[in-house]
Structure 1
């Protein structure tokens, strides 16, 4: 709805160019909170008042994107500009703050943000008093980043190709003040509205990012897809010596980052950090529930279903660190290839969701339906690991009408397909 039209034509400005003019910015700032049910009528009223249609479209688009961005950047969204793809890929601000803190702890003072997008990571770095050179090759996106970083004089946006680094930005030399001493890269992993699964199709490609240590910086962070292969950081892999770090927020795996040099975890190829939102004095804070690495990773035993089932956090599962959770809760795996932990006694973990096992059944639709109906269950939450059954199709096929609730876990133990009926353990 106008983002791509920045600077087009010789008449009234449209798209972002219109909003970057005083009257366009004033219109955007004066809009009421975005309401999808009233957006059409609001647009018609503004056009009737003489506001150019392109400016109206751009302002309403930004209003909608600001509303969507509050989940990622909180109240900062109300003073920022966005692009749809930029918002989709942008780091959540509390997570970006952890990136900045990690680079600062690594001794960085000036960071090259290569492919900065709309500038959320650069915003977090600048907020922690790091100097930032943010590089973005798309002109409209660079303009957005410039607006978003306007309150930080030590953050500069450069229009250019990230792969030109370090030719255009001097790298710090021993004993010489100034210069870039750390690099952060967030390759574009979407094109034409779809995700790119091949790392070499990213822009820039992953192989380029893995060459950043050769530029002379002391620390590097590269944001990658959460499905990144463990073989990348394993011995013999192209990123051996880096640490692959997965992060989740409230159970949602939001990112994976490859860290090198002073920002890597010594001796660790993989790590997982679990973050939780907590409300304190009416404000929501994101706090760390725990961090694990593959250093000293235990091999958990395998055995039968106990009285409790633990579902490790997604970041722990992605990082392949379920063995730590099993050891912490005194549990075992149902199957060596399935990330469910079972235990005879309840030992809660902040890195897993715990359930009390109500019943263990061999898989069978009629058997499961009979059990649930016999216990008055009308609503089920379906979870699965190691099962091909679609949860939505199962809910429809069960045809339940009771008043009770239950969680149904579809899994397997070897070749045996199992159904566990469980209840969440509440604190």
Structure 2
């Protein structure tokens, strides 16, 4: 969003027009809305600005629920923003640690600061980008104990502040295109600054879930978070925000329920063994946290093959930390025989899951020339090092 676009939005006419729009839907409806607004005499620039915000509000409901309908967004700010239910867990950790005044350094559109304010924390929120800082100030207006600054994280005075939260910018926008930064050294603020603050105060740093684990400082708690099966972030907690004896954590959120698997450090993998009656696919947060071995032992299961994140066992276990499948039968692993086996079973719709094999499921599905009214799920992987195709059904 450009500065001029934001100025139009923040006018009395702009905000009233935005709030009067019907929910964003199809492009055809948008074309009609544009025509109607232009016919009413609204400025073309304002029409474009409010429709862009209407689209972002619709997209933001997945993260912010009904709160999205009274917020403003930038495209990159929304992409990086923490889901509100996850931000609430972050805020709760600060509150439980007795840290009453938090600096949100690189606050983006203000999602985490909003959650902190909701549990009555005082927040000094800083954002380097002028437009994004103004958007954050708008979103945080209902909270008198939140102060939004247009400033670099490095320039914020931390006197009287108890702890810091940082969500370094991991994307850059140029010419309307947003690109994810591959090198953690290019984040803003830099990780050296973020973790340097840990020598002065408790700090929480939100990173992408695929961030190189080598950046996690010694003695910190690394917590990977998944929401409804999607791994959304890695948070590094230090000082009073890090829990004693916990170095690795997998927080799994499904619906309204949250479950956590924790350990002092990476877990040793369980031994590998032959395929049992059930197959389990650990949640991505468990895999990222390298707690598969601990999960296997808690389930009475074992690895299907060394270094591959599938577990197997002879009893059905209901766990939030893995998706379970009942093993129906082994199918031939070579493509020609697999095609014949699926044709014999009348499989026309096929879900293909795979780990440890070099195959593109979409291309394989085309080559299998599926026909029939049946549907099935197969798992392509390794069993004690050997390629296997396993016909399964979800528990």
Q: Same fold (TM over 0.5)?
A: yes
Match of 2:125 among 129, 134, 158: 134
Q: How many residues align?
A: 390
Alignment of 1:5-404 (within 5 A): 6-7=3-4, 15-36=5-26, 37-165=28-156, 168-170=157-159, 179-192=160-173, 193-214=178-199, 216-217=200-201, 219-233=202-216, 239-277=217-255, 286-294=256-264, 297=267, 299-404=269-374
Q: Structure 1-normalised TM-score?
A: 0.89
Task: Name the SS for the 1:248 alignment partner.
Answer: strand
| In 2, Cα distance between equivalents of 1:97 and 1:164 | 27
Match of 1:282 in 2: none
| In 1, Cα distance between equivalents of 2:117 and 2:41 | 39
| Contact 2:303–2:310 under 8 Å retained in 1 | yes
User: Deviations along 1:85-117, whole A, 9 cap, x unmatched?
Assistant: 000000000000000001111221000000000
How far off is 1:232 after superposition? Answer: 3.3
How far off is 1:414 after superposition? Answer: 5.1
Q: Which moved more, 1:250-259 or 1:410-419?
A: 410-419
Give me the CA root mean square deviation: 1.4
Task: Name the SS for the 1:394 alignment partner.
Answer: helix
| Contact 1:126–1:152 under 8 Å retained in 2 | yes
Q: Structure 2-normalised TM-score?
A: 0.96
Q: Which moved more, 1:144-153 or 1:398-407?
A: 398-407
How far off is 1:405 after superposition? Answer: 1.5
| In 2, Cα distance between equivalents of 1:363 and 1:197 | 36
User: Deviations along 1:167-212, whole A, 9 cap, x unmatched?
Assistant: x231xxxxxxxx2101000001011312112110111122221111
How far off is 1:125 after superposition? Answer: 0.3
Unaligned runs of 5+ in 2: none
| Contact 1:132–1:155 under 8 Å retained in 2 | yes
| In 2, Cα distance between equivalents of 1:342 and 1:28 | 53
Q: Relative to 1, partners in 2 of residues 1:159 and 1:296: Cα closer, same or farther, differing over 3 Å?
A: closer
| In 1, Cα distance between equivalents of 2:115 and 2:278 | 41
Task: Name the SS for the 1:300 alignment partner.
Answer: coil
| In 2, Cα distance between equivalents of 1:364 and 1:317 | 28
Task: Name the SS for the 2:241 alignment partner.
Answer: coil
Q: Relative to 1, partners in 2 of residues 1:74 and 1:144: Cα closer, same or farther, differing over 3 Å?
A: same
| In 2, Cα distance between equivalents of 1:302 and 1:159 | 54
| Contact 1:274–1:288 under 8 Å retained in 2 | yes
How far off is 1:378 after superposition? Answer: 1.3
How far off is 1:415 after superposition? Answer: 4.3
| In 2, Cα distance between equivalents of 1:415 and 1:335 | 6
| Contact 2:275–2:383 under 8 Å retained in 1 | no
